[in-house]
Amino acid sequence: MSMSLRTVMGRIMAWRAELQLGGWLLFFWWMLAKGYDGLYLAKLQSQILWAGCITLTLAWLAGLLAREKSAPEPSTAPWRDLLATLGYFAPILLFAIVGTTTLNLTEDNYGSLNVRVQTPTARPFEEMNFEFPPESGYFPVTLVDLYTQQTINEQVPVETLGRLHRIPQEAAQRHMPGFQGEMLMLYRHAISCCAADATPVGVILQGDEQTLTQLESVTEGQWLTIQGRVRESDHNGQVFLMQIEKWAPSAAPEAPYLSWLTGLNG
């Protein structure tokens, strides 16, 4: 039995490079087949992944056909072979556990409101090419759409989707001096390349006392659809304020990330 285990471990060690690459290729082809690449990667990176998988698969198959299949001498310590073999698959295990990224954003990350504003190239909301006005009376936009506007027309009613986050008073006052109480923010993550470079983008929510009281019962991180009007903050031009006119809980979107590379021009 011991000799059998040693032989198996020896063969696995001999083929470890092919097994490791094959495992990664299997995972990436599964992700591409399911369309998950579009949820976590920008368009260019998705195309690169396709090209890379095709190239590596051809190279992997060519290596298998050309490889000598003779097994090496088994090790005298099978447990070492076992540990070494498992080590080659550790990246795959880690990938499966944590996913494509770990967005462990702390209170400071959210409270900083460091928003990456791109070159304003999007058409103004009021010039969007709708054949008919939206039934709701509000223009559906994303938070990235807001931050690609050169100027914000406060009279244009908009509707956007995001998650609720509460910012403590101390952090809120760094951006809006004199602000009292807890600040509410509607945010989402946006990517330029892939999920690993995701950054939060959001708007500060404002409303009447009744609306804000209702939002107190909403759990942290709940997805909300907010309808209202947006304006720039008097204290910080990179922070937008949204006056709530209507709001409702919403289901999480299929694609968790927005893209900085697409917007109203998209």
What does the block give as tokens for 193? 């390349």
The per-residue DSSP string of the chain comes to -HHHHHHHHHHHHHTHHHHHHHHHHHHHHHHHHHTTHHHHB-HHHHHHHHHHHHHHHHHHHHHHHHS--PPPPPPS-HHHHHHHHHHHTHHHHHHHHHTT------HHHHHH----PPP--SPPGGG---SS--TTSSEE--HHHHHT-SS--TTS-EEEEEEEEEE-HHHHHTTSTT--S-EEEEEEEEESSBGGG-EEEEEEEE--HHHHHHHTTSPTT-EEEEEEEEEE-SS-TT-EEEEEEEEEE-PPPSS-EEETT-STT-
Amino acid type, 85: T
Q: Per-residue pLDDT for the chain (266 aa), expressed as one digit of tens each?
A: 445 666 766 666 677 777 778 888 888 898 888 887 777 776 777 788 888 888 888 888 887 777 655 555 555 556 665 665 665 565 565 555 444 444 433 344 444 444 434 444 455 555 554 445 567 788 888 888 887 776 777 778 889 999 999 988 888 777 777 778 788 999 998 877 766 667 788 888 999 989 988 998 999 999 999 999 988 776 655 678 899 999 999 998 888 788 876 654 43
pLDDT at 251: 93
The pLDDT value recorded for residue 69 is 53
**Global pTM?**
0.60
Q: For residue 214, what pLDDT is reported?
A: 92
d(CA 4, CA 62): 29
Q: Which domains does the chain have, with CATH numbers?
A: 2-98 (no CATH), 107-259 (2.40.50.140)
CB 20 within 8 A of CB 81: no
